[in-house]
């Protein structure tokens, strides 16, 4: 066998090796990017949930309910002659505070005396929610009703410590995390599209989005179901209200996960449908 024949025989083998190698690395990087994108989308979805939960409007409503559940505000307001203490600030103007209330909520003397019970309750809850949103857990002071001997492992303690996370500062942090996660997810999604071929691009994106959203959806549904059962079976009214609050808040991550899952299902369905139609068309042309 001549030297030229040996070289000619070697060329197909080299070409085959290069082809197999290129295909292997493309599939490897495709799976690696896909897994990274699943993780990044999970972080993005969680950060979206956290950003929405810590937004001022949503957080204010949740904090109002938390304060109403943790404190005996109705009993404190019922007899305002004993429960409202009038003091004088440095400027000489009268101010009032609810004695025994775990959050310092300043009231004018006119508000304390002239507002109806329902109006005074709304004012106290609104200002308490504002204090909690601005200061977090530090807004609670020791010695007030609803603040002493609260263990973090108890339902009131868990809700109280969780409510301390619904702050303006945490909202800004979650917004930054959401933007960074969205940017990274966009880069990884582009890389996945470039590594995929044909309608497999839609199929890959849909599968990744579903893989990221379905576990969070199932977890959120399970947590909401457990909280619903707990609130219905709990005999203590206060604890039942706290469970109900957690159940209602759990609907927000469920809603977001459903939106992500639907988007992934649409991409996956379109990719599979177009791929099937393309194969049928190729068969008909033969």
DSSP label of 79:
T
Tens place of pLDDT for every residue, the chain, 286 residues? 455 444 555 555 444 444 444 677 888 888 999 999 999 999 999 999 999 999 999 999 988 888 887 777 877 777 665 555 555 555 445 556 677 778 888 777 777 777 888 888 898 899 989 988 988 877 776 544 444 445 555 665 666 677 778 899 999 999 999 999 999 999 999 999 999 888 888 999 999 999 999 999 999 999 888 888 887 777 777 777 777 888 888 889 999 999 999 999 999 999 999 888 888 777 776 6
C-alpha span between 50 and 45 (Å, rounded):
9
Short-list 228, 222, 220, CA closest to 245? 228
pLDDT of 135 reads: 86
pLDDT of 215 reads: 93
pLDDT of 23 reads: 74
Q: Tell me phi and psi for residue 165, to 5 degrees.
A: -85, -15
pLDDT of 85 reads: 55
CA distances from 187 to 171, 184, 210 (A): 24, 5, 18
Residues contacting 152, CB < 8 A, separation 6+:
158, 161
Residues contacting 78, CB < 8 A, separation 6+:
117
Consecutive H or E run containing 181: helix 168-195
pLDDT of 55 reads: 93
């Amino acid at each position: 066998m001549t030297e030229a024949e040996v070289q000619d025989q070697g060329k197909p083998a080299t070409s085959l090796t290069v082809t197999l190698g290129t295909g292997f690395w493309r599939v490897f990087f495709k799976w690696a990017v896909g897994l990274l994108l699943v993780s990044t989308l999970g972080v993005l979805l969680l950060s979206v949930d956290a950003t929405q939960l810590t937004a001022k409007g949503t957080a204010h409503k949740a904090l109002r309910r938390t304060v109403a559940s943790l404190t005996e505000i109705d009993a404190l307001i019922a007899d305002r002659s004993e429960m409202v203490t009038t003091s004088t600030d440095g400027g000489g103007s009268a101010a009032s505070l609810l004695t025994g209330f775990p959050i310092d909520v300043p009231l004018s003397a006119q508000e304390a005396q002239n507002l109806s019970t329902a109006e005074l309750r709304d004012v106290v809850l609104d200002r308490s929610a504002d204090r909690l949103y601005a200061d977090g857990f530090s807004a609670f002071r020791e010695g007030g009703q609803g603040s002493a001997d609260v263990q973090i492992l108890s339902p009131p303690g868990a809700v109280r410590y969780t409510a301390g996370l619904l702050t303006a500062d945490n909202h800004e942090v979650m917004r930054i995390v959401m933007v960074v996660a969205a940017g990274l997810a966009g880069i990884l999604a582009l890389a996945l599209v470039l590594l995929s071929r044909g309608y497999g691009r839609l199929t890959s994106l849909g599968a990744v989005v579903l893989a990221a959203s379905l576990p969070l959806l199932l977890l959120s549904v399970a947590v909401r179901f457990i909280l619903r059962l707990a609130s219905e079976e709990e005999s203590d009214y206060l604890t039942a209200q706290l469970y109900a609050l957690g159940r209602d808040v759990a609907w927000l991550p469920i809603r977001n996960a459903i939106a992500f899952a639907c988007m992934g299902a649409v991409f996956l369905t379109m990719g599979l449908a177009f791929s099937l139609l393309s194969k049928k068309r190729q068969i008909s042309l033969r």
